Amino acid sequence: MSDKYVSWGRYPFKNQKGVDLLWRDDQLPVNTNFLPQGNARSYGDCCMNADGMVVSTHNLKHFISFDPETGVLRCEAGVLLKDILDVVEPQGWFVPVTPGTKFVSVGGAVANDVHGKNHHVAGTFGCHVRSFELLRSDGARMVCSPSENPEMFSATIGGLGLTGVIVWVEIQLKKIANSAIDLETIKYSNLNEFFSLSAESDANYEYTVAWIDCLARGEQLGRGHFMRGNHASGNRKKPSRRSLPLTVPIDPPVSLVNAFSLKLMNALYYNRQRTRSKQTIVHYDPFFYPLDGVKNWNRVYGPKGFLQYQFVVPAENSADAIRETLDRISAANCGSFLAVLKVFGDKPSPGMLSFPRPGATLALDFPFQGEKTHALFNQLDEIVVQANGAIYPAKDAHMKPAHFRQYYPNAERFKEFKDPNITSSFWQRVMEPSA
Ligand SMILES: Cc1cc2nc3c(=O)[nH]c(=O)nc-3n(C[C@H](O)[C@H](O)[C@H](O)COP(=O)(O)OP(=O)(O)OC[C@H]3O[C@@H](n4cnc5c(N)ncnc54)[C@H](O)[C@@H]3O)c2cc1C
């Protein structure tokens, strides 16, 4: 048993049995259930298999082909988005969709059908996947694409690793003139203003997202910084990458994120910008990956770990649901520093179980405080269920079985495509709970 294979939130697991695949033609384990794992950057238990083992693709790190004319890249599933950027960005290409960390594997990006700040323009990562090879536990290999094994293609995108091991992936990259981002940051005063900014920005800005001060109340509820940007034009000089790598070297004995530090950090962060609007050209790293600058930042939550709560609610219910969420968090005397709000577009997600759908999505981090945290999440669940929303499995360690079936009506059909020898702690919790 080792903590090498433990998820990013470090809750509810402290260790996990695992083996590493070394080559594309390796055999899978027999006589045991297992789960494919990428770089374990999921927060909860969708990349964990407490009662069995995980099969890590960590070492499947080879590029197979790249055409600098067309931007079509084929690589092994364990290649990280960081590795791709290092190779293709100097040649004028970029990843088509990226989550808030570049330390995710391509296989993990497919299996959670991840989204980024350009969802309103580009949809999910799965929208840019041309094909992949799937290895089933019986040793069968199949190439899946929109035209070859299309149902397995759709089940595997957002399929939480449960249909087989993705061995390699072919994606269409995005052509760019400049990897730097021409960024405007607007300090806004409340939730209504957020929605106006978002609506007015979608047509002209490829990337939009807001950080919100989730401790602000009353008239200021939902206030924050709205960031909107595009890749800079080719003639602009690229700013240099942030130079000082920071690290959290040890586990503090308790969470450093508490009521006092949250109040301080939120107020300081909100007020760090004096003017309403600020225009800058920034390196893509701090824009897309602000947290990657601090190695092991998940340790600040201490030995009990932390949870994220990310939901999406349809547009007609967004403002009320988000207002109520922030009120309940405040009433529970909890708070989050990493509170991110974004409006998804309406480009359909290709996966049977993909999370992104039209509406507003809010993501919040909480230190795990035992029953208090679950009690708060139960209250937030009521809001999401009432608002006809959904919770994101990649961030989850709490969702109830009935809620999963409501959020993901294809769950029953998905079982047809699930590999019989693959399972996860998440799947057992939401689809096979013991009585
Ligand atoms: C700081 C931070 C910011 C984030 N921001 C975002 C964001 O903005 N948007 C977003 O969508 N997500 C975000 N995430 C979540 C993250 O993008 C996803 O959890 C992603 O799937 C993690 O990839 P991974 O390689 O670490 O996969 P893991 O976490 O190891 O696994 C994720 C899932 O993929 C499956 N899997 C992994 N590899 C394979 C494979 N080769 N074959 C089959 N199945 C496989 C696993 O079984 C599991 O179900 C963020 C995470 C962090 C830590």
pLDDT in tens, 101-137: 999 999 999 999 999 999 999 999 999 999 999 999 9
**Does residue 156 line the site of ligand 1, with CB under 6 A?**
no
**Does residue 124 line the site of ligand 1, with CB under 6 A?**
no
**Does residue 28 line the site of ligand 1, with CB under 6 A?**
no
**Does residue 119 line the site of ligand 1, with CB under 6 A?**
no
Q: What is the C-alpha separation between 382 and 357, in angstroms, rounded?
A: 19
CA–chain centroid gap for 339, Å, is 13
| CB 321 within 8 Å of CB 32 | no
Average pLDDT over residues 34-43: 98
* Structure confidence at residue 236 as a pLDDT band (50, 70, 90): confident
pLDDT in tens, 66-105: 999 999 999 999 999 999 999 999 999 999 999 999 999 9
pLDDT of residue 211: 94
pLDDT of residue 165: 98
Give the residue carrying structure tokens 């999406």.
312
CATH number of 181-398: 3.30.70.2520
Q: How far is the CA of 171 from the centre of ligand 1 (A)?
A: 17
**Residue ID of nearest Cα to ligand 1 atom 7:** 99
pLDDT of residue 259: 77
Q: How far is the CA of 43 from the centre of ligand 1 (A)?
A: 8
Q: How far is the CA of 367 from the centre of ligand 1 (A)?
A: 20
Q: How far is the CA of 85 from the centre of ligand 1 (A)?
A: 17
Single-letter amino acid code for the residue at 332 = A
**Residue ID of nearest Cα to ligand 1 atom 21:** 108
224-234 burial, b at 16+ Cβ within 10 Å, e below that, comes to bbbbbbbbbee
Choice from 56, 101, 102, 294 to test ligand 1 binding pocket (greatest atom count within 8 A of CB): 101
C-alpha distances out from residue 238 to 90, 193, 252, Å: 11, 32, 37
Q: How far is the CA of 276 from the centre of ligand 1 (A)?
A: 35
CA of 125, closest atom in ligand 1: 11
Q: How far is the CA of 190 from the centre of ligand 1 (A)?
A: 31
Q: How far is the CA of 56 from the centre of ligand 1 (A)?
A: 13
C-alpha dihedral sign at 110, 62, 2, 32? positive
Pairing of strands 174-175, 93-94: antiparallel
**Does residue 225 line the site of ligand 1, with CB under 6 A?**
no
What does the block give as tokens for 361?
A: 């999505």
Q: How far is the CA of 189 from the centre of ligand 1 (A)?
A: 33
What does the block give as tokens for 192?
A: 């209504």
Average pLDDT over residues 294-301: 87
**Does residue 39 line the site of ligand 1, with CB under 6 A?**
yes
185-208 burial, b at 16+ Cβ within 10 Å, e below that, comes to bbbbebbebbbebbeebeeebbbb
Single-letter amino acid code for the residue at 85 = L
Domain boundaries, the chain: 181-398
**Does residue 112 line the site of ligand 1, with CB under 6 A?**
yes
pLDDT in tens, 408-429: 999 999 999 999 999 999 999 9
Choice from 19, 105, 112 to test ligand 1 binding pocket (greatest atom count within 8 A of CB): 112
pLDDT of residue 242: 66
Choice from 22, 33, 47, 135 to test ligand 1 binding pocket (greatest atom count within 8 A of CB): 47
What does the block give as tokens for 260?
A: 């006092």
For 205-270, give the DSSP string.
Answer: -SEEEEEE-TT--GGGTT-EEEEEEEEPPTTSPPPPPP---EE--S--SS-S-SHHHHHHHHHHHH
* Structure confidence at residue 435 as a pLDDT band (50, 70, 90): low
Q: How far is the CA of 188 from the centre of ligand 1 (A)?
A: 31
pTM recorded for the entire structure: 0.96
**Does residue 291 line the site of ligand 1, with CB under 6 A?**
yes
**Does residue 108 line the site of ligand 1, with CB under 6 A?**
yes
Average pLDDT over residues 323-344: 90
Rounded to 5 degrees, φ, ψ at 329 are -65, -40
- Sequence-distant (6+) residues with CB within 8 A of 276 are 186, 187, 188
pLDDT in tens, 182-230: 999 999 999 999 999 999 999 999 999 999 998 888 999 999 999 999 9
Average pLDDT over residues 373-402: 97
**Does residue 340 line the site of ligand 1, with CB under 6 A?**
no
